[in-house]
Amino acid sequence: MILNIKFDYTFICKAILKEQLDALNLSYTLKTMGEIEFMKKPTPEQKEQLSLALNKYGIEILEDPQYVLVQRIKDEITLLLNDPDASRKYTVSNYLSEKLEYSYSHLSTVFSETTHSSIENFIILKKIDVAKHLIIHKNLTLTEIAYRLNYSSVAHLSSQFKKTTGLTPSAFQRIIKKRKAKGNMV
């Protein structure tokens, strides 16, 4: 028997963090994605216990300021792409500069040095992930998806989609429809 499920990564991560932080009796506030503010600084022992507990779930405490900044850039891009109104309102460079309070040039340099890739390339990959999610889970047309992801045209979306996945969005849609029809879709 196969049981198909759907899950929300953000909800799961927050639930795990809350569970583990509460188990250590730490006073905290969950801030934006990937940030915890402590009311009282955890002891080194508490920090180590938390690190070990979170590692079991694939969650890592970041120490290096550059890695922290890169994660914040990724988190802000994810938030931006999941908010269609904001993604049409801001350019990515202005959005990141405003949210993270650094020049885009600095953010771009840190991101490239740390990941060996560009912010622009990360954005393309995230947009394609979001497009795949919308194709799989929403009943949107390619025109609606292109608009929602702030592409200039369906052709632009299709070009990046094919370059990234090897498939056109239409071919991807057909594959998903066949899988859903056979009951093989998670």
Calculate helix-pair angle for 119-137, 92-100, nearest 10 degrees: 100
Note whether 160 and 172 are within 8 A (CB): no
**CA distances (Å), origin 1, targets 4, 60, 183, 184:** 10, 34, 12, 12
Name the residue with tokens 């071919």. 171
Q: Give the C-alpha separation, 73 to 144, whole Å.
A: 26
The tokens describing 50, both together, are: 């938390």
For 13-38, the pLDDT digits (tens) are: 889 999 999 999 999 998 866 788 89
Q: Give the C-alpha separation, 111 to 107, whole Å.
A: 6
Stretches in the chain below the pLDDT threshold 70: 32-33, 184-186
Domains along the chain with CATH numbers: 9-61 (no CATH), 65-117 (no CATH), 123-186 (1.10.10.60)
DSSP 3-state of 25: coil
Q: So what's the pLDDT on residue 185?
A: 57
